[in-house]
Amino acid sequence: MKTYKNIYSKIYNKKNLVLAYKKARKGKTKKRYVKRFEKSLGKNLLLLYEELKNQTYKPQPLKHFILRDPKTRKISKSSFRDRIVHHAICNIIEPLFQKSFIYDSCANQKGKGTLFAIKRFDFFKQKITNNHTSLAFCLKCDIKHYFFEVSHKILLNILSKKIHDKKVTCLIKQILQNTAEPGEKGMPLGNLTSQFFANVYLNELDQFVKHKLRAKYYIRYVDDFVILSKSQEQLQIWKTEIKIF
């Protein structure tokens, strides 16, 4: 596995911070917090650059609100300056991991999404049923309270397999621990970094299902996944093995 050292400076690179700012403001240019940041744009970006460079950066407390669509979820909203940092991190480290993601990991990736997942499901359904002429079965699962149960230790261990830069690890730790209830698990639902880390974390499951279980027809969208098979018994066996994993 290829590893990466000395990448922290790429995160606070001025060009990367400008790009991160542009991504963070996309679709939100009329928001008051964006306009407020832009009143002293050069000064604010320079301050962020200095804080990251000198490792004095501290994330601001999150704002929490409840969203019901249809299930109730607690969303944690980061400040605009912190969202710029999230984009700056993802700009650099996301490409390092994406190559290892399976094709049928459908969430939070360019060119993927719910429509892509539905099309893949229809394609697999056609294959497994011989164009709807034979019986087949589907195992549909999700991971209970996924974002709130993610182990920081396991996530950091996965990230450290590729990233050999302690400064990057320290920055990621700060973001993970910036919650209302600091602890050893959980990620704020709403952070861009959380969406990316969710894929990194469950890529371990993807690799297990595809290469150890050799399940051919498997699709994952964040913490929801399906496996199709001609054998109901096979799906029961896989369900047990996934649960253990």
Rounded-to-integer distance, Cα 199 and Cα 158, Å: 11
Note the pLDDT of residue 20.
98
Note the pLDDT of residue 76.
80
Rounded-to-integer distance, Cα 116 and Cα 107, Å: 9
The tens digit of pLDDT for each residue in 155-195 reads 999 999 999 999 999 999 999 988 756 678 889 888 999 99
Note the pLDDT of residue 119.
96
Rounded-to-integer distance, Cα 163 and Cα 58, Å: 21
Yes or no: say if 226 and 140 are a contact pair by the CB < 8 Å rule. yes
Rounded-to-integer distance, Cα 175 and Cα 153, Å: 14
The tokens for 71 are 């299930």
Note the pLDDT of residue 131.
95
Note the pLDDT of residue 3.
86
Yes or no: say if 185 and 150 are a contact pair by the CB < 8 Å rule. yes
Kind of pairing between the strands at 224-229 and 72-77? unpaired
Note the pLDDT of residue 182.
64
Note the pLDDT of residue 180.
55
Residue 138 pairs in a beta bridge with: 228
Contacting residues for 142 by C-beta, under 8 A, at least 6 apart:
223, 224, 225
Note the pLDDT of residue 181.
64
The DSSP line for 146-191 is: HHHH-BHHHHHHHHHTTB--HHHHHHHHHHHT-SSS-SSB---TT-
The tokens for 141 are 């699962």
The tens digit of pLDDT for each residue in 4-30 reads 899 999 999 999 999 999 999 999 999
Where the chain has pLDDT below 50, the residues are none
217-221: strand order across its sheet:
137-142, 224-229, 217-221
